[in-house]
Amino acid sequence: MVNKREGLLSVASIKEKERTVYNLLNAHVKKTDERNKIFVLHRLDRDTSGLMLFAKNKGTQEAFQSAWTRFVKEQVFVAVAEGCPNKTSGLLTFSPAVDEQDHLMIVSEYEGENAVARYTLLRSNERYSLLELRSESGRRNQMRAQLKHIGHPIAGDLRYGAETDPGGRLMLHAQKMAFVHPDTGGEMVFEEPMPRMFMDVVK
């Protein structure tokens, strides 16, 4: 488990092949033994910070990727959203699909694999709200698209409709992850507190 900072890619892209979480971590584990390798289990968007889980072998990678919800019991994000939802909690069940022209995830009630996220309002002021988001499908970008759809895009998410950028970054952070260890069967829980600026924005 690693704590990814915002602005760093999870894995290589066409434009950036060297400075990624995967490459940095892979280089680190090889310092003790050149044969060591790591395997990607999931990704966070470049501008999302927080917890990322990697595997030490191919078998674990295949097990997690084929049955994600069997192993991952809890995946919690926090976000600062523009405005404030009418309800203090709710279920986001719209189905994201990909806009082929803009390469954005969009929300459709008729297309795409169902993606579910639950939100809870933690606090708010006249401009922003602090939300806890619990992903139940692990799909990248789903919450960004869903919050845009309900009229409360994540602050700083100019790609998904935000009009403000109070923190100079996408204000989305992967705060907690709980999973079942594939070998021992024991539950592992990791937490990484949200950046202080999140709370400052909603004071």
What are the distances in angstroms from CA 6 to CA 185, 186, 191?
Answer: 32, 30, 17
Report the alpha-carbon distance of residue 133 to residue 77 in Å, rounded: 5
Q: Is the pLDDT of residue 109 over 50?
A: no
- State which residues form the domain around 67: 2-201
CATH number reported for the structural domain that contains residue 42 in this entry: 3.30.2350.10
Cβ 120 vs Cβ 89: under 8 Å = yes
Domain count, the chain: 1
What whole-number percentage of the chain has pLDDT above 70?
84
Cβ 133 vs Cβ 76: under 8 Å = yes
pTM of the model: 0.87
pLDDT digits (tens, 9 = 90+) for 93-106: 766 554 444 445 44
User: Degrees (nearest 5) of the Cα angle 138, 106, 123?
Assistant: 65
